[in-house]
Amino acid sequence: MPEINFELTGKDGLARTAKFKTPHGIIETPTILPVINPNIPTLGINEMVSVGAQAFITNSYIIRRSENLREKAERNGVHSLIGFDGPIMTDSGTFQSHVYSDVEYTNLEIVEFQRKIGSDISTILDIFSEPDFSHEKAEYAVNETFARMSEIPHGVNDTILAGPIQGSVYNDLRKKSAELMSSSQAGYLPIGGVVPLLENYRYDALVDIIINSKLNASFSKPIHLFGGGHPMFLSMAVLLGVDIFDSASYVKYARDDRMLFSDGSKELSRISTLPRWSPLYGKFTVKEIKDMGVEDRKKALSLHNLAAIFNELQEIRERIFQQTLWQYVESKARSHPYLFRAYKRILEYSEILEKYEDLSKKSTFFYFDRYSDQTPYVKRLSKFTGDFSTPAKEPVILGDEHWHPGRPHDKGIKSAYEHSGRPFFIKWQNTLIPLELDETYPVEQIITAGGELPSGDIITPLNGLQLSESKIRDFDIDRVRVVADYQFGPGTGAKLFPDNTVVTRSRNTGRIRGIFLNSELLATLRAHDGFFTMTIAGARKLKDACPAPSHRIVVTDDSAEFNSKGFNVFFKFIRSNDESIIAGNEVLVVDSGDNLVAVGKSVLSGKEIKHFRSGVAVKVHKGVLQGEEKETESD
């Protein structure tokens, strides 16, 4: 089997863009593999490539059963048969086996046939599990599918084996199947047995299946959703970690005179005009399409439908780049009740999904309504607030008339804070946030429809506070400590920033900029998200404050030498890492003796890092052998 080369190029939570290398070329994900029936071609390869197709899937069982097709494929290869020299995946006949009870070939025979005809990705003859299967019957499908993967001889080096994840609607079986297939020689992990759910718009059940498959599978292998080709559900599936889809929906809908759009399908008879993105726009009027013969109309609508799918995928890829996929899914979920039901199911997993979200995003946080309170970033904030609260002291709660996002505190608030020992909170949508985090993502970086103060909470007027005559605390020191606690864990702030810490502010914005100790710069507070970028001096203090393995990436000694000079850390040189690392957070790069080598930003979460062997894992911004920053306290 070829070495799996799945290199990330971008991420947004579990969603990701990547380059997947196959024997016949690279597949850029997320994407879809259009299904090609070699007996009944509807569109030409060049037509499909013109709207975005990079790779295709066809059925090896159909090819083998046809004497004519089999001879051509065995003689010249499946690429010649299809007429495409890029990546081709072949299915095994599992669905035919399920429908017709049996196929005339064994698992070993069909896999060997796929290898023989030059398939880039070959699928084993797995056991299909229906949504209404009993747990016992579904578990048999899981175990037998894994047994069939295990019987494939190792060392086949010219095809990538696809090991389907089965388990019906049972979360424990999807977990088991994902773990088994990830431990096998499978280099590609399709989620199987979902077509009946897709056909009946049971997207909420699909959410359970995808999450329990994805989070228990190897993150370094592509996740494929068999049959998941409707543009309405693509963004939600990608949000949950699906990389590749396949579908014949573009032809099936065309056969019924239906046209695909990003929010659903529409009957041709109810269409008045074509969208500009459609390849039919400017070539035909709607009336001309209606007046076509059956085959010509099917071909025209198939091309439109395939373009609709790739148009949606292009939007999704751009959303991942901008890190706005979650808000895209959240807004799109309102377009159809089935999607909204599925979105509410996703929110039930928010605390789990939060572990895979970056520390902050490029994008502004969109707050729509009370459902936004259940999103991962709000869950992260709410958990911190719950841990931060001290019942011994009554909190001061500031409403909109006292606090405004993005505006510096007026002297009255800061003075009241420094002359009071009570914790200060701000009313932020439907939750309460420590005042010290008011410039930290996403508290300030928000566009909102507005929220209400949680019931039972009373805004405390500032003029009603009992204040001490002398200053009893420093707001700036408390702010950097609380941000450090949120970024690195409770209690870290006081260890990083003692009472003699000096905080400097930008002359232009008035915001905190540098944090010094004994004239040495420890960290800078980033203006765009309110989190710290650590210097080597700050990294040393963080290392002392947090015992191993916290916040650590342990690299080989050979890599350590290069990383100490400021070079990035690559996955293949990582020996171990803290699994609780948050993607986008500062991490300590250390050698096998726990000696600090560099400090940088982690590309992935700690749970994902250990799976990858290709690409950059840490973007180093300072190595111990590089000079320290020149910023001074007077800047």
Q: Which residues are catalytic?
A: 91
User: How far apart, in whole angstroms, are the C-alpha atoms of residue 486 and residue 387?
Assistant: 10
Length of the chain: 635
CB 36 within 8 A of CB 250: no
Concatenated DSSP letters of 401-441: TT--TTSPPPHHHHHHHHT--S-EEEEETTEEEEGGGTTST
Concatenated DSSP letters of 164-229: -B--TT-HHHHHHHHHHHHHSS-SBEEE-S-HHHHHTT-HHHHHHHHHHHHTTS-TTS-EEETT--
Q: Are strands 5-12 and 15-22 parallel, antiparallel or unpaired?
A: antiparallel
Q: Which of 377, 386, 382 is nearest to 357 (CA)?
A: 377
Q: Which of 554, 599, 558 is nearest to 578 (CA)?
A: 554
Q: Which of 503, 418, 497 is nearest to 462 (CA)?
A: 418
User: How far apart, in whole angstroms, are the C-alpha atoms of residue 631 and residue 391?
Assistant: 40
Concatenated DSSP letters of 287-337: HHHHTS-HHHHHHHHHHHHHHHHHHHHHHHHHHHHHT-HHHHHHHHGGG-H
User: How far apart, in whole angstroms, are the C-alpha atoms of residue 403 and residue 345?
Assistant: 34
CB 72 within 8 A of CB 330: no
Under DSSP, is residue 125 helix (H, G, I), strand (E, B) or coil? coil
Contacts of 68 by beta carbon, 8 Å cutoff, 6+ apart:
none
DSSP code for 564: T
Quickly tell me which residue has 């081709």 as its tokens.
88
Asked if omega into 391 is within 30° of 0 (cis), the reply is: no
CB 504 within 8 A of CB 516: yes
Helix (H) or strand (E) holding 94: helix 94-100
First to last CA, the chain: 57
Q: Which of 89, 31, 37, 51 is nearest to 251 (CA)?
A: 37
DSSP code for 188: B
Quickly tell me which residue has 């915001």 as its tokens.
511
Quickly tell me which residue has 């889809």 as its tokens.
245
Q: Are strands 502-505 and 512-517 parallel, antiparallel or unpaired?
A: antiparallel
Contacts of 463 by beta carbon, 8 Å cutoff, 6+ apart:
none
